[in-house]
Amino acid sequence: MMEPKQSVYFVHISDTHIGPTPEYERHGHRSLPCAQRIVEIINRFPVKPDFVVHTGDVVTEPNGRSYQLAAETFSHLDVPIYYVTGNHDTARDIQQFLPMGPHQPFCQSAAEQYSYTFTVKGYRFLVLDARAPDELDPHGLLSQAQLDWVRREATADGPPLTLFMHFPTLPMNSTWMDAYMLVINGPELHQALLPARDRLRGVFYGHIHQNMQVIRDGILYASTASVFSQFSAWPGHASVGYDPNHLPGYSFVHLLPEQTIIHQHTFPRP
């Protein structure tokens, strides 16, 4: 395995659910002010991150006005941002409305699905688009082509590897989340990643609106809190719940030559 000598820092945000107007509310909270506040917070960090990754559900309804508000909001970041297609997004809209940092698309025909790679300081990053057909929503589904691509990337040798996607891969011991929120062929993805586990720094995702870590076979799967509203996910709860006491949040991730560190933060609701 090729070990870089530098460290990479990135900010993991997710599930901003921006609407078509600044007044738009979801789950009893206005989403746009939270997105604007996280941009302010990131730009004031004492350590400048290398990039921001948004793991999906940039907007609630995929329409031009919502994406224009999102694009204007995140254009104020002082560092590059990368986006993952969430179940509330479309790949076409993300490509049309949301500028990203330098990256290489997985394939040229990417209208319906947008997966890509990028490299920072010798670290390799894969972004997977697991948005499923509408009839399977809110589940995710990876195409066979993407799984084959992961198998080609996830070899034992190579630079440190990190994956970004919207949907959780493995069960979370929450009845309603495990019934509705998983990527359907998550076990296949996990098997595809096993050869690379010694160089795999983590699989980072959103969708579940809360911080959660799952470790299986030495592979770390880590979600981050929503930028504006959190779900609850206690064992045995059979229906979706919202946690009114949890604040908006994000994660600051350290990829060091020898380890991964995740700092989870909250911020006061604007």
HSE (side-chain half, CA atoms, 13 Å) at 10:
27
Q: Distance (Å, rounded) from C-alpha 11 to C-alpha 35?
A: 13
Tell me: pLDDT of 264 over 90. yes
pLDDT recorded at residue 108 = 54
Cα 255 to Cα 145, 146, 177, 224: the distances in Å are 28, 25, 29, 16
Q: What is the pTM of this model?
A: 0.96
Tell me: pLDDT of 3 over 70. no
| Domain with 167 in it | 8-266
Residue 201: both structure tokens together: 């720094």
Q: Distance (Å, rounded) from C-alpha 50 to C-alpha 181?
A: 30
Contact 70, 31 (CB under 8 A): no
Tell me: pLDDT of 110 over 70. no
Contact 208, 221 (CB under 8 A): no
Domain membership of residue 225 (yes or no) is yes
Tell me: pLDDT of 141 over 70. yes
pLDDT, mean of residues 106-110: 66
Domain membership of residue 70 (yes or no) is yes
- For residues 121 and 245, which has the higher predicted lDDT (pLDDT)? 121
Domain membership of residue 2 (yes or no) is no
Cα 119 to Cα 2, 42, 54, 126, 258: the distances in Å are 14, 21, 16, 9, 18
Residue 236 banded pLDDT, cuts 50, 70, 90: confident
The one-character DSSP state at 15 is -
Tell me: pLDDT of 268 over 60. yes
Domain membership of residue 3 (yes or no) is no
Domain membership of residue 132 (yes or no) is yes
As to burial, measured by CB atoms within 10 angstroms (0-12 exposed, 13-18 middle, 19+ buried), residue 14 is: buried
Dihedral over Cα of 200, 230, 233, 175: its sign: negative
Number of structural domains found in the chain:
1
pLDDT recorded at residue 20 = 96
- Specify the residue for token string 């002082």: 78
As to burial, measured by CB atoms within 10 angstroms (0-12 exposed, 13-18 middle, 19+ buried), residue 18 is: buried
Residue 102 banded pLDDT, cuts 50, 70, 90: very high
CATH (domain of 87): 3.60.21.10
Task: Enumerate residues 6+ apart whose C-beta is below 8 A from 102.
Answer: 80, 118
Domain membership of residue 145 (yes or no) is yes
The mean pLDDT of the chain is 94
Cα 180 to Cα 7, 204, 234, 242: the distances in Å are 36, 19, 15, 15
Domain membership of residue 190 (yes or no) is yes
Dihedral over Cα of 42, 44, 47, 51: its sign: positive
pLDDT, mean of residues 93-108: 91
Tell me: pLDDT of 196 over 60. yes
HSE (side-chain half, CA atoms, 13 Å) at 225:
24
pLDDT in tens, 63-89: 999 999 999 999 999 999 999 999 999
The one-character DSSP state at 219 is E
Contact 15, 227 (CB under 8 A): yes
Domain membership of residue 196 (yes or no) is yes
pLDDT recorded at residue 107 = 73
Contact 141, 183 (CB under 8 A): yes
